[in-house]
Structure 1
Amino acid sequence: MATSKFPTQKDGSETFSQETAVVVFVLGGPGSGKGTQCPKIVEHFGFTHLCAGDLLQAEIESESENGTMIQNFKKEGKIVPSAITVKLLQQAMQLSDNKRFIIDGFPRNEENRTAFENIMKIEPEFVLFFDCPEEELTKRILNRNQGRVDDNIETIRKRLKVYFESTLPVINYYNSKGKVQKIDAQRSIDEVFEDVKSVFSKLKPVARVGSMN
């Protein structure tokens, strides 16, 4: 059996600690532009981009015992337990030479949120929320998903329903704590990024990925 490709510890782990890590959650509905804006944030502000879905898929492909378990959850149509997802995020952060992270599309629900805070003992610096109305999200997904199996309107409605029922309460929770930076995501990519830059520019200067201070 192969071992996990995400080891639990990393030599030189002084580059990462829960006390010094800066975490930004990036949330918004499917089609809101998270996947477009995150690489721009990495390029301009030196953050490391983590995506929970990508980490889960990488673990499956590693054929580790953990990956087999994740695969089985997916095959059975079950949600992967939040603790597993958080542990993968934690390990990826420990492997990074950076201390600042944008976590894309996570937490998706309240269980994700509480698991992250309980395991990591970190609250996000802020939540970057790409706000976009349902009609616009539907139109964008239909346009980008042409030819894909899941491009029918019923599947899109189900995805949006899950988002509004599960993820919006997370955004509302952080909003009540004054931690949400809302971006109007209906505009052009460049216009949206101007607002994103304004938000991130308020943080202290960020070391480039891979640099050591």
Structure 2
Amino acid sequence: MPAIIDKITNALHSSDSTASSAPAFDPSKVTVIYVLGGPGAGKGTQSARLVSDFGFCHLSAGDLLRAEQNREGSEYGSLIRTHIKEGTVVPMEVTIKLLQNAMKAALQDKAADPLWANGRGLFLIDGFPRKMDQALKFDEDVCPSSLVLFYATTEEVMLGRLLERGKTSGREDDNVESIKKRFRTYNEQTMPVINHYKALNQVAEIDSSGTVEEVHDQTYKTISKLLAAKPHDGAAEAQA
């Protein structure tokens, strides 16, 4: 992940966006799964398991933004720091460009892997989209998503996890005040995104209140069904 972050943060400022009537990536080759849930719901932990299970590339919108805010000379650094501190959403143009460039870098890096040959790829996008405009813009301009993994639990569980993480994470937003702001932002802006995809029958809701292993078992079964219903060409060729 760090190597990809370095590549895309540099590319963010060197690549010009061009108008296009088609998404940047072909959804028949590139599978995108949004991983959503409240702060502390377990998105990152389960995404890491899926990377090992299925060969996904895990992209955390939060990690990409934190890397960019600390990058020397970044024109977006101050803006991103302010939004993260306040628990509000960074402008979508910044986040989407970071994600698109990260996907491009991963496709280049993994091109020798049979699962990723000829522009194919499997992506978990963690913590994105957080607002409806982000969802619609990404689906239209970058790549339509195949599924939303929605990790649902209580704010009490999430708060406890985040405060425990804050003891060692060094993240300035892992404190009670920032966490409560993040909960409000999530309920007001991200839940409508989840409800939008529910209406399209594209949401797999998973109770993330249990142990890591229990949640992983549910997640593994869900992704196995998705990939079986939508075979990935690269996987089919690798097994041939």
Q: TM-score range by the shorter chain?
A: 0.7 to 0.9
Q: 178, 185, 208: which is aligned to 1:155?
A: 178
**Number of residue pairs aligned between Structure 1 and Structure 2:** 198
Q: Distance in 2 between matches of 1:167 and 1:153?
A: 20
| Residue 155 of structure 2 corresponds to residue 134 of structure 1 | yes
**Cα distance change, pair 18–83 in 1 and its aligned pair in 2 (3 A):** farther
- C-alpha displacement of 1:164: 0.9
The aligned residue for residue 29 of structure 1 is: 38
Root-mean-square deviation over aligned CA pairs: 2.8
Of residues 15, 18, 23, the one that matches 2:26 is: 18
Q: Which residue in the other structure is 2:134 paired with?
A: 112
TM-score, with length taken from structure 1: 0.81
Matched, 1:87 2:93: no
Instruction: Give TM-score scaled by structure 2 length.
Output: 0.72
Percent of aligned positions with the same letter in both sequences?
37
Q: Residues 154, 62 of structure 1: CA spacing in aligned structure 2 closer, same or farther, 3 A cutoff?
A: closer
CA distance in 2 between counterparts of 1:61 and 1:73 reads 11
Name structure 2 gaps, 5 residues minimum: 1-7, 17-23, 111-115
Q: Which runs of 5+ in 1 are unaligned?
A: 10-15
1:60 is displaced (CA, Å) by 4.2
User: Following superposition of structure 1 onto structure 2, how do residues 1-213 of structure 1 map, counting pairs within 5 Å?
Assistant: 5-6=10-11, 8=15, 17-19=25-27, 20-63=29-72, 67-68=74-75, 70-74=76-80, 77=83, 79-96=89-106, 97=110, 98=116, 99-120=121-142, 122-146=143-167, 150=173, 152-202=175-225, 203=227, 204=231
User: Alpha-carbon deviations, 1:167-204, whole Å to 9, x = none?
Assistant: 11111110110000011100110010001110111113
Deviation at 1:160, TM superposition (A): 0.8
Change in 2 beyond 3 A, CA 1:142/1:44:
same
